[in-house]
Structure 1
Amino acid sequence: MGTILGLCFLLLLSFSHVAFSGRCNPEDKKVLLQIKKDLNNPYLLASWNPETACCDWYCVECDPKTHRITSLIISSSVPETNFSGQIPPSVGDLPYLQVLEFHKLPKLTGPIQPAIAKLTNLRWLILTWTNISGPIPDFLSELPNLQWLHLSFNNPTGPIPSSLSKLPNLIDLRLDRNRLTGPIPDSFGSFKKPGIDLTLSHNQLSGPIPTSLGLIDPNRIDFSRNMLEGDASMLFGVNKTTEMIDLSRNLLTFDMSKVELPTSLISLDLNHNQIYGSIPQELIKVDFLQAFNVSYNRLCGEIPQGGRLQRFQVDTYFHNRCLCGSPLPSCK
């Protein structure tokens, strides 16, 4: 008798799963099929069969109660995929979408579609490793719930729009490995969320770092491999909680001996700049420093003895004007 009841219970669970997964909002389904058509019916979306429920399709997720599409993540590890075209404007017709991601799609081209501005519930916008081009549009600042904006490894050109600082909930901005030009916007000193990650590396950004950035307390800053110049001391501060700063391979010029370093630092990379002065004695108090590089600068004086500074290799310090002391040759 117990076996029969157990089988009935399993059948009931199976039926419940089919009943749940079989649900699909007809309007969302219509939009998804249009997206598939606009992308030339790629094999990647072969499961998008109009005869089946869209909540069962690959690349999408539904809200378990409303059965509306909340996530659309299209990614491919196969370069030969027939996935091609531009970002379909119809993505803007998924009003409950919280996550939109197109990743590793080299045949995805064209601009970032204005229709994305309609996705007011969007929290993650990730367009990475594609061939989208054109400017980064101002309308992205109209997404009030956006937390992650990743536009890395693409072909956008032109300046970074200052309007991005209006995003009230942004905690992670990645614009690295594009072809962006011009300065870092002065408005970036007004980001609302503490602990924001700012990754702008591997572009062609130029000019000074805005002094306004001294007003924020980011978790991570990566401005490496640009053409930034002048002072960067405003990014530091003994009262900040920043864990990672990478300013390597720029044209920065400032006195490092006057910099007050946050004790929260885990990684600090300043190599290939024109930084002068000496390494601050306070750096020995940074207990969790795991990565450090000041090579190819104009630093002088003795490397502070103690803390973690002697654990790094010689190449951390070499090609400076007159640095000395362990692990470099002793000072005379």
Structure 2
Amino acid sequence: MTSIRIMNLEYNEFTDNVASSPLTSLTSLEFLSISGNHFDIPSSLGPLANHSRLKVLFLDDTKLTIDTKIASSTPRLQLKVFRMSNSRSKGFKVTSIGFLNHQYDLRIMDLSTNDIKGPFPSWLLENNTKLKYLFMRDNSFTTLELPSVNLFYLLVMDISNNGIRGELTTKFWANVPNLLYLNLSTNGLEGSIPYELGSIKSLTILDLSSNNFSGGPPIQLLDSNLSLYTLNVAYNNLQGEFVFSANTMNPNLSYLRLDHNMFTGNLSFLSSHVNLWLLDISNNNFIGKIPRLIANWSLLTALDLSKNQLDGLVPQELCNLGELKYLDLSDNNLYGPLPSFFIAQQMSNLSQLSILSLRGNSFDGTFPKQLCNLKSLSMIDLSENNLFGPLPSCLGPINFSSEYANKVTSTPGTFMSDGEWSPWYYVRSVHTAFYHYDLEGEPLPAHTVGIITKKRFDSYKGYALLEMVGLDFSCNQFSGEIPPEIAIFQDMLVLNLSNNKLTGHIPTSFSSLTKIESMDLSYNNLIGSIPEELTQLNSLEVFNVSYNDLSGAIPNTNQFGAFDESSYYGNHLLCGLPLSNNCSTTINVNCSITKSCMKAKDDGFIDGETFYISSGVSYITVLLVLPVVLFINPQWRQGWFHYVELVITTCESLFITCSYFVQDGFRKLSNC
């Protein structure tokens, strides 16, 4: 047993005091992992001090106990790979790393997701000048003072999601000439982005997102570093226009995120970046038209131009993007008919498109049936436009499916080592350009999609986005009946058809939507009863059919018993809980009265000439004939007054009923 070189005991239920365990005698160990157990390990790592051959030590999800002993001599232990990364679910936190004071030969170190406080431990870099990969994200560092020693070997540095504040100093960047990956995101860094970062010619991936950087756009950084593959400056306070020199061309830039800043100007600067496969400039103040040159980016996978002030027509050339999976043009000033964009003969080129969001523009015309040819779509948001006409039954064959998660996989980037140590063999937490790979190696997309669901505007990202399947056609002018074929989308989670002019009954086929969580059919002209079959939808959390013309008893079994009266407002012929009107005492309004009110609501106007002629003739006839008849016959006179009293009573009831429909109409017009 004393000759064992590799021991892996990770993620079991072992409980022992390492100081008194057989591990202390296994001095031939070169690789040891005791992650995810219940070992009692002193913070000094004293029991392993004499393991001179030990080079790789994994202590993930392990709690160190405070060790007050002072080592009598310098430990013989000199690690090359040390990993003590903790998952939030375990709750273990390392608060001090003084036990690393005597380590001078580290090449890979991961201390992510702990509670290490105070200034960034620059002494670790001074002591370990051959360090290649440093992961210290998700801690509580407050300031960033980096050493002035030459770190020629440093390739990867991730200190994201800490509490680091202040400005970035420039002295460090001259000492990391071979740095490939730098992640300083999700801190409180301020001031301008140092243009000296561009002097690191080897830099491939730079993430400065979610800080408080201000000043102009990072033009010099993009202009001077032709090796840059990924740049993320999203969620900062940057502003100004992108103006590049005439000869600027970055053929390697593939991933560019400028979203959630205050950039202005048009998009002509994009001509300098011809090989992008992800572009997100959403939530800025860009103006002008969508440049047609985007159609030349044959590798483009995700395009988000939402929440800007772009105008004009959508270029038809976008249909040539054969790799496009995600398209968000919502909340701009785009206009024109959708069919000018979705052209039948070009539609097959968008066969990879999975998410389409055109919400909040001024598109008009009928629903483009060519959309039905996109078999990979998992989410469509056409809400808040001016689309009209019927919803096509061809929606049925679209392959809405959570299999989208399998369509957008990516291979994690790998940094090659010198052959002695393979970093990703030991460190499984990898950040790449488009995807963040978690500790289990699963991809999480960086972009976010919003859709109205569960009575609120929700954002979906990560696994939630991968699993998101839904339709949002709300706040348009769609009319006609709801196609029952929609129920073929059995993986659908969200269906929002509210604020349209849809008529007919709620399809009983909706009972097939077994995974649906939110269904909003409010503010339409639907009639009939609520299908009892919908009570089979056990995943349904939000159900809204308010302000329609539904009638009959409300189902109250299963989860329908949990919906409150707001789900049914404005349907004056519905009865039963949670409404106050009892079905046994509900007044049956005369069918002819209901039909006349509905016709008035649907038509809106009557022929003016006919109305005035018929009213005039009737008025003159009554004035001439009625007094004569009532004067001649006293019995007719008595009957006439009785009839007048009856008509007044009936008209009061009729007025109340019709006024409900008029009020509902005004609510539907003003709701969007």
TM-score computed with the length of structure 1 as normaliser: 0.76
Deviation, 1:310, is: 11
Task: Please name the residue that 1:29 is paired with.
Answer: none
Task: Please name the residue that 1:181 is paired with.
Answer: 190
Deviation, 1:319, is: 2.0
Q: Match of 2:27, as an amino acid?
A: G
Q: 1:190 aligns with which of 170, 192, 199?
A: 199
Structure 2 SS opposite 1:240: coil
Q: In structure 2, what is the Cα distance between the partners aligned to 1:70 and 1:311?
A: 43
Check conservation: 2:57, 2:82, Cα contact below 8 A: no
User: Are positions 1:144 and 2:152 aligned together?
Assistant: yes
Q: In structure 2, what is the Cα distance between the partners aligned to 1:311 and 1:222?
A: 20
Task: Please name the residue that 2:275 is paired with.
Answer: 264
Task: Please name the residue that 1:3 is paired with.
Answer: none
Name which of structure 1's ranges 248-257 and 318-327 shifts more when overlaid on structure 2: 318-327
User: Are positions 1:297 and 2:294 aligned together?
Assistant: no
Deviation, 1:51, is: 7.9
Deviation, 1:132, is: 2.0
Q: In structure 2, what is the Cα distance between the partners aligned to 1:147 and 1:119?
A: 13
Q: Match of 1:59, as an amino acid?
A: F
* CA shift in 2, pair 1:131/1:44, >3 Å: farther
Q: Match of 2:170, as an amino acid?
A: S
Deviation, 1:45, is: 6.9
Q: In structure 1, what is the Cα distance between the partners aligned to 2:178 and 2:315?
A: 40
Q: In structure 1, what is the Cα distance between the partners aligned to 2:156 and 2:220?
A: 22
Deviation, 1:80, is: 5.7
Q: Match of 1:326, as an amino acid?
A: F
Task: Please name the residue that 2:27 is paired with.
Answer: 22
Q: In structure 2, what is the Cα distance between the partners aligned to 1:128 and 1:170?
A: 17
Q: Match of 1:318, as an amino acid?
A: S
Alpha-carbon deviations, 1:51-108, whole Å to 9, x = none? 8736287427xxxxx98411111111255655443332x5353221111221111x32
Deviation, 1:126, is: 1.2
Q: In structure 2, what is the Cα distance between the partners aligned to 1:323 and 1:312?
A: 23
Q: 1:93 aligns with which of 95, 98, 102?
A: 102
Structure 1 SS opposite 2:215: strand
Deviation, 1:291, is: 0.8
Task: Please name the residue that 2:332 is paired with.
Answer: 320
Name which of structure 1's ranges 279-288 and 252-261 shifts more when overlaid on structure 2: 252-261
Task: Please name the residue that 2:215 is paired with.
Answer: 207
**What is the alpha-carbon root mean square deviation over aligned residues?**
3.5
Task: Please name the residue that 1:220 is paired with.
Answer: 230
Structure 2 SS opposite 1:165: helix
Q: 2:112 aligns with which of 103, 109, 116?
A: 103
Deviation, 1:110, is: 1.5
Deviation, 1:138, is: 3.1
Q: In structure 2, what is the Cα distance between the partners aligned to 1:216 and 1:197?
A: 11
Aligned length: 293
Check conservation: 1:246, 1:269, Cα contact below 8 A: yes
* CA shift in 2, pair 1:129/1:244, >3 Å: same
User: Are positions 1:279 and 2:290 aligned together?
Assistant: yes
Q: In structure 2, what is the Cα distance between the partners aligned to 1:229 and 1:206?
A: 7
Q: In structure 1, what is the Cα distance between the partners aligned to 2:266 and 2:192?
A: 22
Deviation, 1:204, is: 0.9
Check conservation: 2:254, 2:276, Cα contact below 8 A: yes
Q: Match of 2:85, as an amino acid?
A: S
Structure 1 SS opposite 2:104: coil
Gaps of 5+ in 1: 1-13, 26-40, 61-65
Q: Match of 2:137, as an amino acid?
A: T
Q: Match of 2:219, as an amino acid?
A: T
Check conservation: 1:23, 1:67, Cα contact below 8 A: no
* CA shift in 2, pair 1:164/1:50, >3 Å: closer
Alpha-carbon deviations, 1:111-148, whole Å to 9, x = none? 11231222110111111111122x21131764221111
* CA shift in 2, pair 1:238/1:124, >3 Å: same
Deviation, 1:301, is: 2.5
Q: Match of 2:198, as an amino acid?
A: G
Check conservation: 1:233, 1:254, Cα contact below 8 A: no
Task: Please name the residue that 1:59 is paired with.
Answer: 58
* CA shift in 2, pair 1:45/1:92, >3 Å: closer
Q: 2:253 aligns with which of 234, 242, 254?
A: 242
User: Are positions 1:74 and 2:79 aligned together?
Assistant: no
Deviation, 1:186, is: 1.6
Q: Match of 1:215, as an amino acid?
A: S
Deviation, 1:165, is: 2.6
User: Are positions 1:127 and 2:139 aligned together?
Assistant: no
Q: In structure 1, what is the Cα distance between the partners aligned to 2:323 and 2:84?
A: 46
Superposed, which structure 2 residues align to 1:159-174 within 5 Å? 159-166=167-174, 167-174=176-183
Deviation, 1:171, is: 0.5
Q: Match of 2:279, as an amino acid?
A: L
Alpha-carbon deviations, 1:248-296, whole Å to 9, x = none? 0001112213531533211100001011222221111111211111111
Check conservation: 2:86, 2:112, Cα contact below 8 A: yes
User: Are positions 1:154 and 2:162 aligned together?
Assistant: yes
* CA shift in 2, pair 1:309/1:250, >3 Å: farther
Deviation, 1:320, is: 1.9
Structure 1 SS opposite 2:186: coil
Q: In structure 2, what is the Cα distance between the partners aligned to 1:282 and 1:205?
A: 30
Task: Please name the residue that 2:47 is paired with.
Answer: 49
Q: In structure 2, what is the Cα distance between the partners aligned to 1:310 and 1:326?
A: 17
Structure 2 SS opposite 1:207: coil
Q: Match of 2:240, as an amino acid?
A: G
Structure 2 SS opposite 1:155: coil
Check conservation: 2:85, 2:112, Cα contact below 8 A: yes
* CA shift in 2, pair 1:246/1:258, >3 Å: closer
Q: In structure 2, what is the Cα distance between the partners aligned to 1:18 and 1:165?
A: 39
Q: 1:308 aligns with which of 321, 326, 334?
A: 321
Q: Match of 1:308, as an amino acid?
A: L
Structure 1 SS opposite 2:276: coil
Deviation, 1:16, is: 5.2
Greater Cα radius of gyration, structure 1 or 2: 2
